[in-house]
Amino acid sequence: MDIVEAQPLWQPDPGWLNTASYGLPPRPGWEAVQAALVGWRAGRTPWEVWDLETQRARESFARLVGVDAADVAVGAQVSQLLAPVAAAIPDGASVIVPEEEFASNLFPWLVHADRGVRVSTVPASEVADAVKPGTDVVAFSLVQSATGEVAAYSDIVTAARNVGALVVVDATQACGWLPFDAALADVVAVVAYKWLMSPRGTGFAYLGPEVRERIRPIAAGWYAGEDVHTSYYGPPLRLARSARRFDISPAWLSWVGTAPALELVEDIGVDAIGAHNVALANRFLAGLGQPSRDSAIVTVDVPGAEERLAAAGVRAAVRAGRVRASFHVYTSDRDVDLALDALVG
Ligand SMILES: Cc1ncc(COP(=O)(O)O)c(C=O)c1O
């Protein structure tokens, strides 16, 4: 399906430039959730039916980022998905994180300060250079949520491999518009409510087979069992051999809205979505007299932006006077023009 064919599947009010905060559901995801709500209210649907959607979403995510579904765990949010990884690094480990990093890939490391884990922050553009012998972990977002800066993924991976450091990526602001190979990293966490246009409460972690050997599944419950349905009660511990041992039990209704959204992203194609998004972002920048940046998220300084955008009904994030605008598959030239008229006119 191409973008023009797909766009009627969304119904945004004009001026939604804030997918970096949350994405809007496509019709198949929206309708699936509505049907699930009806079944829930009447007690008509066995939970096992909703649960099938979790596996369906896991498989779609694995295809989107080029890994085996057996290497993907499901969870609810980024810091939860990364917490077992951080808990597994040795006492006194040295971790590098960009100084702009969103807290969900920073706090999980900082909470280990009492056992000597040291976190150094450097500008996002300097992460690869900061990796030195003695670095144990390099943790960063593929696309920074505050600025839209795209990380030098392969340079960082090369630097990390040279010193044997673990590579931990938060691809939440990338997955769905920026093609990338998750298997280059050791760990990649993604929550689906932004660029994967799903309800809040669903996320994935690629956990490579080698790294899994080093991580204790500290949140394991029945859903992490090898056979989920015979894992409800009693010992022994019988965890899944695959990355499912890191699963937490799923927020059913959210997963119902996640699987169709991911499959639609696959159907349209991440390359096509990325090209569309970046073209709109660059058009927005050009309208403000600024050069292209080739990211779906851009930030600009415009005096009085908050009031001007609000008056025009444009919803973008404004923080400390900076406008963060983000552009996705359902964004159109009209949305960009609305914002430019408000900011430049
Ligand atoms: C880069 C990034 N990661 C993660 C999140 C969400 O974090 P969590 O899933 O831990 O709530 C956000 C939200 O803005 C984000 O920008």
pLDDT tens figures, 249-282? 999 999 999 999 999 999 999 999 999 999 999 9
Q: What are the residue ranges of helices labelled H in the chain? A: 3-6, 27-42, 47-65, 78-88, 107-110, 127-130, 153-163, 209-214, 252-268, 270-287, 305-312, 333-344
Q: What is the pLDDT of residue 40?
A: 98
- The closest residue, in CA terms, to atom 9 on ligand 1 is 77
* 215 three-class SS: coil
- The closest residue, in CA terms, to atom 10 on ligand 1 is 78
Other C-beta atoms lying within 10 Å of the C-beta of residue 119 = 18
Mean pLDDT computed over 176-181: 98
- The closest residue, in CA terms, to atom 3 on ligand 1 is 172
Among 22, 100, 145, say which to mutate for ligand 1: greatest number of ligand atoms within 8 Å of CB.
Answer: 145
Q: How far is the CA of 77 from the centre of ligand 1 (A)?
A: 7
Residue type, 185: A
Displacement of CA 252 from its chain's centroid (Å): 19
Mean pLDDT computed over 190-195: 98
Does the beta carbon of 141 sit less than 6 angstroms from any atom of ligand 1? yes
Does the beta carbon of 145 sit less than 6 angstroms from any atom of ligand 1? yes
Which atom of ligand 1 is least distant from the CA of 143? 1
Which pLDDT band, with edges at 50, 70 and 90, does 317 fall under? Answer: very high
Displacement of CA 70 from its chain's centroid (Å): 19
Q: With 0-12 CB in 10 A as exposed, 13-18 as middle and 19+ as buried, what is 130?
A: middle
Compute the mean pLDDT over every residue in the chain, rounded to the nearest whole number.
97
- The closest residue, in CA terms, to atom 16 on ligand 1 is 145
Which residue, chain included where needed, has tokens 């991911």? 262
Q: How far is the CA of 27 from the centre of ligand 1 (A)?
A: 24
Does the beta carbon of 102 sit less than 6 angstroms from any atom of ligand 1? yes
Other C-beta atoms lying within 10 Å of the C-beta of residue 291 = 8
Query: What tens digit of pLDDT does each residue of 108-146 get?
Result: 999 999 999 999 999 999 999 999 999 999 999 999 999
